[in-house]
Structure 1
Amino acid sequence: MAETIKIAVCDDEKNIRSYLVSLIKKQGGECGITEYASADAYLSDGKEHDIIFLDIEMGGSGAGLDGMGLARHIRGMEAQKQPIIIFVTGYEKYVYDAFDVGAFQYLVKPVDEQKFAEVFGRAAGQVLSEAEQRKKKLVIQYGGEERQYR
């Protein structure tokens, strides 16, 4: 059975969310996509995702948490598996801040379809590789005893 990649698209602009979803669907594969109009909506949902496409400046974020704040919050969480964060923003000025939160990539709007496909392919490949690694187990046999570790 194919691994389903759980993807979040978090942007305050509906047309941008729709465009990113269409680009994701063009890549094919098993994906579950959830859209969020704000950082607060993402946090209140509580779902875990493998990949997050995240805008930085989002108007109407309620408490004022922007995309960078959300990324910091996610990185500060005690999670067994951290999601891949890909910033999709209209502002180049935050590119260095993206390194501080371990962003996988920083895409500037308008997003180039070919660049998106390349970045998405690398991110999906990493998710699937990590999923395979989690399935593997180590078996140690010693003195007639066998122990398994994941």
Structure 2
Amino acid sequence: MTDQPIDQPIRTIIVDDEELARRGIELRLASHTDITIVAQCANGREALAALAQHKPDLMFLDIQMPGLSGFDVLAKLPQESLPMVIFVTAYDRYALDAFEAQAIDYLLKPINDLRFSQALDRVRGYWQQKNALSQREQLMKLLASTQGAGSVDEQTLREYLHAERQPRYPQILPIRDDAGTVRVDVNTIDWIDAAGDYMCVHADGRTYVLRETMKSLEAVLDPKLFQRVHRSTIVNVSRVRRLRPHTNGEYFLTLDDGQEIKLSRSYRDRVDQLLQRR
């Protein structure tokens, strides 16, 4: 991968023998302005040529392709030339091999919009760490050359370059329905509850149905704004107006719109957090 400033887009290639699969990734990336596609490849040979020409930062790589497989492509690349890799495949049996190949993530076809956003967040986190390390190394060389002694104040440098980065959480939650994909601003979400295998996302007076799990939603929602208050409920803490004690250590939360939500005793430690935030 090439060393680029942090504010430069993440240069990406898409490798898949299915045109529709490549198009699907292209459309999903269209709304992510920090990622730019530099090439699309239909097989492993094209991928190797594109990697040599463009030296991308990220590669969406299908595993099972005619001729060279995705693993074959990686095997032909020197370790120092490997971009970040997100494997894309219809077969989950390759998952272990994918992560042993040090992939950033692994997406199953058909691609789930939420999982796609999670994969990009992992890419951004890795990208920030890589660039921070690159900046540190370059600055150390510069300081060492100007000081002449070949040494720098490590503590000062660490404080300057390695200020703790806050994790990035997506501001848009993509929810697919019969008419297409709805882009829900996470700041408009009031609360989320489980309904069997589906999540009901309540935002701006509307309810959107999303096929996901509580665990996956918790992973992409900022915990400073969203807290799980029940095994089947997540609430936007900025919407909590009142907490009312109930029996057996439970509480009822009243939201701005009058909705009442039970806070179970398993999540009693969240009460102080909710009160402090309000």
Q: Which TM-score tier does this pair reach, normalised by the shorter chain?
A: 0.7 to 0.9
Contact in 2 for aligned 1:3/1:128 (Cα 8 Å): no
Corresponding residue number in structure 2 for 1:73: 76
- CA apart distance, 1:129: 3.0
Q: Distance in 2 between matches of 1:148 and 1:39?
A: 45
SS in 2 for 1:31: strand
- CA apart distance, 1:38: 0.7
Corresponding residue number in structure 2 for 1:33: 38
SS in 2 for 1:26: coil
TM-score of the aligned structures, taking structure 1 as reference length:
0.81
SS in 2 for 1:16: helix
Contact in 1 for aligned 2:29/2:35 (Cα 8 Å): no
Contact in 2 for aligned 1:71/1:85 (Cα 8 Å): no
C-alpha offsets along residues 106-138 of structure 1, whole Å, 9 cap, x if unaligned? 111001011101111220232133123212322
What stretches of structure 1 of length at least 5 have no aligned partner?
none
Q: Distance in 1 between matches of 2:8 and 2:134?
A: 12
Q: Distance in 2 between matches of 1:36 and 1:87?
A: 14
Aligned pairs, number: 141
Letter of the structure 2 residue corresponding to residue 130 of structure 1: K
Identity, % of aligned positions:
24
Letter of the structure 2 residue corresponding to residue 50 of structure 1: D
Q: Distance in 2 between matches of 1:111 and 1:50?
A: 21
1:1-150, aligned counterparts within 5 Å?
Answer: 2-45=7-50, 46=52, 47-59=54-66, 64-74=67-77, 77-79=78-80, 82-136=82-136, 137-138=139-140, 139-140=143-144, 145-147=148-150
Off by >6 Å, runs of 4+ in structure 1: none
- CA apart distance, 1:140: 4.3
Which of these two proteins has the greater Rg computed from alpha carbons? 2
SS in 1 for 2:22: helix
- CA apart distance, 1:52: 0.8
TM-score of the aligned structures, taking structure 2 as reference length:
0.46
The structure in which a higher percent of residues are strand is: 2
